Structure 1
C-alpha cells in the first residue's frame, strides 16, 4: 500500500511539476497521500500543500473530516474506505500569507462542514483552495445527481459568503474504478456567487480574476466578526434550552 504514498515533496514523480511551475512563475495547490514518521511511528495523511510562484513550500494541510468507513461493507455498490487508509489530520485549519493575501486550504469532505470555513474566516482568510474527488452517486442514499451537485456547490457558496472569502473548488472528473466522478469545479466570489464553473465531466480549465479586495466590504460590515459575533452568549442559550454541552 505504501507505494501509493509520498514521503517527501517534491519527490521523483512531482519534481518536474515544481520545476515547470517555477519556470512559469505559477503557484499551485497539490493534494497527495503523505507518509511520514512522527511520534515514533509511520503515519498516513490525506494532505495538500501550497506552493508559491518561486516553487517554495508555503503551507501544508492534513485533511480533518475523513468520510466513509474502515471495513468492507457488502451492501454498498462501491466502497469508501478513506478511514482505512488515512488518519485524521493534525495541522488544524491554518492560513498563510501568499499571493498578496491570506490563503487557506481544505480537502474534499471538509468543504461540507461549516467549521472549515469559519476557523479560517476567523483568521481573516481571503482565498480557500479545495480539491475534491466525489462520485456522481452515493452507494446508500439514492440522492439524484442534481441534488448531489446542488449540495456540492451550496456548501462552497455558503462558506464563501458567510466568511467573506473567495473559494476555489477543483474537482477530479471522469471515470475512476468504473464510477463517474461529479466534476463541478467552481470559483466562488465572497458574495457567494459562482463566477466561473466547469460545464462537463471532462478536462476543463476555468479562470477568474480573484480580486481579494472584494472581501473587504463583507468583512467590515455584514460579517464583521469583532463587531457582531457574540460567542459569549452561545453557551447561555444552550443551557437555557437544556441541551447538554459537548466537551
Structure 2
C-alpha cells in the first residue's frame, strides 16, 4: 500500500481554510495513488505554536481569553459537520484519512478542547478517534486529558493502524498498549521538528517492529492572523515557526521516506506489510520477547465519566 504524509499548516483560527487545504491535499495524494493519507497534529483548525494566550502563573488577560474563545469557536465536534465532510472526501477518493483535530467536548460543558486524531474509512465512516492523554507543557492550558477508551487501533485491508500524538510517544506504557493491539502502521502526528524526534520514531519502529508514519506541520508567521491579542508572542521568532521533518520509518528502523524539511509538501512511501512479520522473527515486544511472569501492564480502557446519573436507590 501507499501512504501519503501531508506536511502543511492551515491559516490559524480559520476552520474553513483548514478544510479547504485538507480536501485539496487529499485529492493530490489520492491522485498519486495513496491508500492512506495522514495529516499533522491539530491540523484542523491549526496548532497555535508560540502563543501564550495571555497566560502567566497566577494570571490570565482578557485579550488572551478572547483569543482562546476564537480558538474554541474554530474547533470541531466528533462526530459533527466537519467529520461528515472528511467522510465525504474519503469516500469520494477511496482512501483512509487520519487527521489531527482540535476536538470540542460534546458531553458536559462543551468548553473543554482535546487534541485528537480521527480515523475515517474509505466508505466515509468515522472509524474511531484518539485523544491525547497528556498535553505537553503549556498545551495543558488549551487541551484536556484523554483517557484509555481512545487508545484506538483500526483494522484495515492492509493491516492495523493506530497511533499516539507527539510526546505521548515518550510514554513507554502507552506505546506498549499500542503494540499489544497488534499495530502494523503506527501513526505519530507531532509538532516536534527537532533532530531528536527522528531518533524517537526510529526507536519506536525498532521496538514495535512496525512502520512509523511521522507527520509534522510546516508553519510560518504568514499563517497567523494579524489581529490576535497574543500575536506579539511570536514577533521575535523566525519566519519559519516549524520546519517539518515528516518521515516514514520501516519496522527495522530504516527510513522508507527520509525527513522533509523547510517546505510544504507530501511525503510518499510504498509499504510492504509483509516486512512487519519478517521483522518480528527475532523480536516481538508483546510476544516471545515479553516476560508476563515478571512484567505486567494493566490498561484501563473504560470511558471516564465526570458525572454518573443514578435513578435507583434515591428517595
TM-score (norm 1): 0.75
Does residue 1:60 correspond to 2:121, yes or no?
no
1:95 corresponds to which of 138, 145, 153 = 153
In structure 2, C-alpha distance between the alignment counterparts of 1:129 and 1:117, rounded to whole Å: 11
Indicate the residue corresponding to 1:228 in structure 2. 289
2:204 corresponds to which of 159, 164, 169 = 159
What is the total number of aligned residue pairs between the two structures? 208
**TM-align CA RMSD:** 2.2
Indicate the residue corresponding to 2:264 in structure 1. 203
Residues 139-218 of structure 1: pairs in structure 2 closer than 5 A: 148-149=194-195, 151-176=196-221, 178=234, 179=237, 180-218=241-279
Q: Which moved more, 1:125-134 or 1:164-173?
A: 125-134
Indicate the residue corresponding to 2:174 in structure 1. 116
Indicate the residue corresponding to 1:11 in structure 2. 81
Residues 2-81 of structure 1: pairs in structure 2 closer than 5 A: 2-12=72-82, 15-38=84-107, 40-42=108-110, 43-68=112-137, 81=138
1:161: Cα distance to partner? Answer: 1.0
- 116 and 224 in structure 1: CA distance in 2 versus 1, 3 angstrom threshold: closer
In structure 2, C-alpha distance between the alignment counterparts of 1:111 and 1:234, rounded to whole Å: 20
In structure 1, C-alpha distance between the alignment counterparts of 2:127 and 2:220, rounded to whole Å: 32
Does residue 1:85 correspond to 2:153, yes or no?
no
In structure 2, C-alpha distance between the alignment counterparts of 1:63 and 1:123, rounded to whole Å: 18
- Of the two structures, which has the highest relative contact order with CA contacts closer than 8 Å and spacing of 6 or more? 2
CA deviations 1:11-43 (Å, max 9, x no partner) are 25x6554323321211110111111233x4434
- 174 and 85 in structure 1: CA distance in 2 versus 1, 3 angstrom threshold: closer
CA deviations 1:207-244 (Å, max 9, x no partner) are 11112211112334322633231143259xxxxxxxxx
1:184: Cα distance to partner? Answer: 0.3
User: Is the Cα contact below 8 Å between 1:174 and 1:201 reproduced in 2?
Assistant: no
Indicate the residue corresponding to 2:11 in structure 1. none
Q: Which runs of no fewer than 5 residues in structure 2 stay unpaired?
A: 1-68, 225-233, 297-315
TM-score (norm 2): 0.60
- 160 and 22 in structure 1: CA distance in 2 versus 1, 3 angstrom threshold: same
Tell me the SS of whatever aligns to 2:268.
coil
Tell me the SS of whatever aligns to 1:133.
coil
User: Is the Cα contact below 8 Å between 1:161 and 1:190 reproduced in 2?
Assistant: yes
- 96 and 18 in structure 1: CA distance in 2 versus 1, 3 angstrom threshold: closer
